[in-house]
Amino acid sequence: MKPKPPRINIIMWRFMGSRLISSTRCMSTSTKALSRFGWWDRVSPAAKDPIIGVTEAFLADTNPHKINLGVGAYRDDEGKPVVLQCVRNAEAKIAGCDFMESNATAVGSKLVEESVKLAYGKDANVVKEGTFAGLQALSGTGACRLFAEFQRRFHPESPIYFPDPTWSNHPNIWRDAQVPVRTFQYYHPVSKGLNFAALMDDIKNAPDASFFLLHPCAHNPTGVDPTAEQWREISYQFKVKSHFPFFDVAYQGFASGDLDMDAQAIRIFLEDGHLIGCAQSFAKNMGLYGHRVGCLSVLCADAKQAVAVKSQLQQIARAMYSNPPIHGLLLVSTILSDPETKALWVKEVKVMANRIQQMRSTLRESLEKLASPLNWEHITNQVGMFCFSGLTADQVDRLVREFHIYLTQDGRMSMAGVTTSNVSYLANAIHEVTRYN
């Protein structure tokens, strides 16, 4: 008689409401039974990322006139990616460096030390007294992700509030860390500016001691920033409500062309005595998107607390990815710590910011020359890498289909993709899709 295949008991765990319950199933170990156990049968394709999806569609288009206004990556006036001269100089300086693990910690510490000076000011007390916990991170995204995990570990019930709208990846990052996600009013679609009164109301109405994510400059996607006076009022209200300000610093230098000026919101909160968190990215202002260099810092009550907080952040990073790659860290720490290279970087940031500003003016003038029936003042009122154009999803679809101009569905245009040679083609296309509305 043919022997029967052995049978095994499998214990299945599942949640019933909040209770974890188990059930036992008896399964045959025959190949047929195992192959029927479809591990990934319930997996359907994830929705495309709204920003990465635009790049993919742009790359697939063979039209010679195509323009990519999707991802916020800097391009020169010929539409080409730029390797900054300060990066080339830093490359030359680090040639022959030890890329092994031996100096990774020292390089990481240097990067953190220089990054916090950039955010909080080189003479800030928190920097001098070491009352911050800082860790090198996988660019801005990684810094946000680390903080989100840290927030959930120590304040699991507290939500985080994002401006409406915000960078499309913010909700994903905090949601994946199991943090409740909320929004506060920020943008006024009619004025295409800040809805300050509504913003203040939402800060006041949020439960005390909530986390708020703030863009200190060059807000993505709107290009709309509060004034210094408005930041002071926001900071005051944060004190009243004991909210925690978490700054996502992804575009320092791109709003005004000046690194210190673009940190004014952070400095105002610092002066007011807040404990602050900061995610810093060097992807845009050093053109190092592919290197994934960033920094997370959290201000603490004293140096002892800073040691404890840092050790927790290190533990979270260790379990997620251990350490970031060292090459980019070396580049950024060299640029920031070598006075000559840093001075060159400061100039190059200004050049990038000025070119974008120039393109804003030219685009607006071009639309006005076409006698567009619409008001385009917001193109030059808004700052930083993005223009929140006000184009509808249908108008964006027409730009893509009829003109091969790629941008996100919300009408955000990366001004870094606009050049002297494509600006009039772009203005004509925008005019064409908006003139009869």
The residues carrying an active-site annotation are 167, 248, 284
Q: Which residues bind ligand PLA (CB under 6 A)?
A: 51, 71-72, 139-141, 167, 169, 215, 220, 248, 250, 281, 283, 289, 294
CB-nearer residue toward ligand PLA: 137 or 306: 137
**Shortest distance, position 167 Cβ to ligand PLA, whole Å:** 4
Question: Which CB, 167 or 211, lies closer to ligand PLA?
Answer: 167
Residue 56 CB, nearest approach to ligand PLA (Å):
13
User: What's the min distance (Å) between Cβ of 294 and ligand PLA?
Assistant: 5
Task: Tell me whether residue 131 or residue 139 sits nearer to ligand PLA (CB atom).
Answer: 139
- State the minimum distance, in angstroms, from the CB of residue 322 to ligand PLA: 18
Judged by CB, which is closer to ligand PLA: 131, or 417?
417
CB of 161 to ligand PLA, least distance (A): 15
Q: What is the 3-state secondary structure (H, E, C) of the chain?
A: CCCCCCEEEEEEEEEECCEEEEEEEEEECCHHHHHHCCCCCCCCCCCCCCCHHHHHHHHHCCCCCCEECCCCCCECCCCCECCCHHHHHHHHHHCCCCCCHHHHHHHHHHHHHHHHHHHHCCCCHHHHHCCEEEEEEEHHHHHHHHHHHHHHHHCCCCCEEEEECCCCHHHHHHHHCCCCEEEEECEECCCCEECHHHHHHHHHHCCCCCEEEECCCCCCCCCCCCCHHHHHHHHHHHHHHCCEEEEEECCCCCCCCCCCHHHHHHHHHHHCCCCCEEEEECCCCCCCHHHCEEEEEEECCCHHHHHHHHHHHHHHHHHHCCCCCHHHHHHHHHHHHCHHHHHHHHHHHHHHHHHHHHHHHHHHHHHHHCCCCCCCHHHHHCCCCEEECCCCHHHHHHHHHHHCEECCCCCEEEHHHCCCCCHHHHHHHHHHHHCCC
Q: Which is nearer to ligand PLA, 289 or 425 (CB)?
A: 289
